[in-house]
Structure 1
Amino acid sequence: MRPVVRETYGPADLSGQRSFAGGFINFGYWRAVDLGLPLSEVERIRSQEDLYRRVLDAAGSPPGPKVLEVGCGLGMGCAVTLREHGSAAVTGMDIHPEQLRRARDAHAELLRQEPARLRFVQGAAESMPVEDGEFDAVISVEAAQHFPDLGAFAAETWRVLRPGGRVAVASFFTVDDAPGRPEELARLLDSYASGLDIARPVRALADAFAEAGLTGVRVESIGPQVWPGWDLWLSRWWAPGTWPRNFLRAYEQGILDYYLVTADRPGRNAGAGTAAAAPGP
């Protein structure tokens, strides 16, 4: 585990910061929220739940699937999956033992009531401690920007998916691999300057999936439903020009965007096609 990840999600406990709410750690998907009205914690939590809903819909798993979440944090997305998608079983995996301890504490009652439907395991995206072909769907919400090796993540995703299974990843990436992108982001955003977030083009993940043998790779920009709401929520505490507000600035300057990337493991009910789609505008 990289030291900056250990600190941010351990002693620093990013989930406890005021910009996040309800135990989630994501920027939110604000499509169903009226940004012209005052925002409360209710709308903030809904935005974070809706991001999971968007990802789960994209994963397109069958009734009663087995789902793996890579980078589950406090497990709030696992609870949404169980509650709303009739999942037979959900495994939340995280690299950080402190996050897993918090997840088990937060969901102690659910773990007691549904021991066969929910579990948390410690593991890295590049080395998953689960069986070959164990899952119908693999999801990851706002964690891939931390993964050191996207190729290894893609290979492990192929391994743990059943034939016909699908992966759906939501995270933020650079729009291209133009020279100087990492330096641009490091000047704008402290999370890139510290190395917590890694500057890579979305094409790197799409290509990694294709090279691992996953097919039907699709890349969709969902930035218009993420950045304006996130920035408006941040404006409660951060003034324009402060670094957290620069996520929207990086998007408006055509440097960074938020993407939903999906792919299938070939086999029964697998999607057709092998080429990665071009990133959205």
Structure 2
Amino acid sequence: MPADQPPTVPPLDQIYGEFDLSTVPAFAGGFINFGYWADAPTGRPLTEADRIATEQELYRLVLRDLGRTEGRDAVEVGCGLGLGSALALREYGFASVTGLDVHPDQVERARERNADARAAHPDRLEYRRGAAERMPLPDASVDCLFSVEAAQHFPDVPGFAREAARVLRAGGRLALTTFFATGQEAARALPGLLPTYADGLDLAHVADEVAATLAAAGLSDVRIRAIGESVWAAYDRYLGQVPELCDLWPRRFLTAYEKGLLDYYVLTADRPGSP
């Protein structure tokens, strides 16, 4: 294969199914995200423990943006192995947390991986199969909706936005984080650099357009902020320190960021009305 030709990436069902992305060293710990590295050490080599801590910190960053969590009901959209849902219940005092994932293998893994937490908190932590644009939840059934590094896979962002507005109670809040293209021109350029875009694993949603879509669905006070300065460089430094990771295509994400093609964002929005 020519050096400038991106490698082939397995399709979405395969990479989260039989391939099991959580086993890849770049995603140590099973959280399957790039991590939030603002507090990562700088004076020594980064360790796998540091890497796992950054994945947990990305969840905490989003969960803090939900505001009040104690005693409230929450849903995570795109929960993967469900470790973030379990962390949310354990650390943020939710009355209940439901993790949704579109892939049946991931739902089964989440149930198995978090069996002890589910047993310790009967009826408070569950994992169900469900798509972002078709959530198996009643109207106005949750106070908080969060999603961590999953929205880049959503095939129908307007459908997700409508579902978020439907399942949130009045006064509820959405908080999500992931990487998005910085504009339409950037979205068109990304497949030429990153194989996950070329092969359709990641979709080049534009950040400002996602925010506008949430507002169009009836959510209010939509806010967006870029956090790429605390993601890409340190993540790339970690990859460069691990011999089996140093030549992988994930290192091209830093290049895309430096070229201004994508960034990492946190978006929040509220469901209008009084709780």
Structure 1 residue 146 corresponds to structure 2 residue 115: no
Contact in 2 for aligned 1:69/1:93 (Cα 8 Å) = yes
Q: Which amino acid aligns with 1:80?
A: L
Q: Which amino acid aligns with 1:259?
A: Y
Q: In the TM superposition, what is the alpha-carbon distance from 1:64 to its structure 2 partner? A: 1.3
Partner residue of 1:199?
Answer: 204
Q: Give the TM-score normalised by structure 1.
A: 0.91
Give the Cα separation in 1 of the matches to 2:140 and 2:44: 46
Give the Cα separation in 2 of the matches to 1:9 and 1:81: 22
Alignment of 1:88-167 (within 5 A): 88-167=95-174
Q: In the TM superposition, what is the alpha-carbon distance from 1:162 to its structure 2 partner? A: 0.5
Partner residue of 2:226?
Answer: 221
After the TM superposition, which of the residue ranges 181-190 and 213-222 deviates more from structure 2? 181-190
Alignment of 1:55-74 (within 5 A): 55-74=62-81
Contact in 2 for aligned 1:188/1:243 (Cα 8 Å) = no
Structure 1 residue 87 corresponds to structure 2 residue 84: no
Give the Cα separation in 2 of the matches to 1:254 and 1:22: 29
Structure 1 residue 212 corresponds to structure 2 residue 217: yes
Partner residue of 2:24?
Answer: 17
Structure 1 residue 260 corresponds to structure 2 residue 263: no
Alignment of 1:241-280 (within 5 A): 242-268=248-274
After the TM superposition, which of the residue ranges 259-268 and 111-120 deviates more from structure 2? 111-120
Partner residue of 1:234?
Answer: 239
Partner residue of 1:38?
Answer: 45
Structure 1 residue 190 corresponds to structure 2 residue 219: no
Q: Give the TM-score normalised by structure 2.
A: 0.93
- Deviation string for 1:39-80 (max 9, x for gaps)? 111111110000000000111134211110000000010111
Give the Cα separation in 1 of the matches to 2:268 and 2:106: 26
Give the Cα separation in 2 of the matches to 1:88 and 1:155: 24
Partner residue of 1:274?
Answer: none
Q: Which amino acid aligns with 2:72?
A: P
Give the Cα separation in 1 of the matches to 2:178 and 2:113: 24
Q: In the TM superposition, what is the alpha-carbon distance from 1:110 to its structure 2 partner? A: 1.5
Task: Determine helix, strand or coil for the equivalent of 2:218.
Answer: coil
Q: In the TM superposition, what is the alpha-carbon distance from 1:35 to its structure 2 partner? A: 2.9
Q: Which amino acid aligns with 2:45?
A: P
Structure 1 residue 28 corresponds to structure 2 residue 47: no
Q: Which amino acid aligns with 1:223?
A: G
Structure 1 residue 176 corresponds to structure 2 residue 149: no
Q: Which runs of 4+ in 1 moved over 4 A?
A: none
Instruction: Kindly report the root-mean-square deviation, in angstroms, between the aligned alpha carbons of the 2 structures.
Output: 1.3
Task: Determine helix, strand or coil for the equivalent of 1:204.
Answer: helix
5+ residue gaps, structure 1, are 270-281
Give the Cα separation in 2 of the matches to 1:238 and 1:251: 19
Q: In the TM superposition, what is the alpha-carbon distance from 1:183 to its structure 2 partner? A: 4.0
Partner residue of 2:61?
Answer: 54
Give the Cα separation in 2 of the matches to 1:66 and 1:75: 16
Task: Determine helix, strand or coil for the equivalent of 1:216.
Answer: strand
Q: Which amino acid aligns with 1:254?
A: G
Q: In the TM superposition, what is the alpha-carbon distance from 1:111 to its structure 2 partner? A: 1.4
- Deviation string for 1:114-151 (max 9, x for gaps)? 12110111000000000111111000000000000110
Number of residue pairs matched by the alignment:
264
Contact in 2 for aligned 1:61/1:166 (Cα 8 Å) = no
Q: Which amino acid aligns with 2:43?
A: G
5+ residue gaps, structure 2, are 1-9
Give the Cα separation in 2 of the matches to 1:144 and 1:62: 22
- Deviation string for 1:75-106 (max 9, x for gaps)? 01011101110111000000000001111110
Q: Which amino acid aligns with 1:66?
A: D
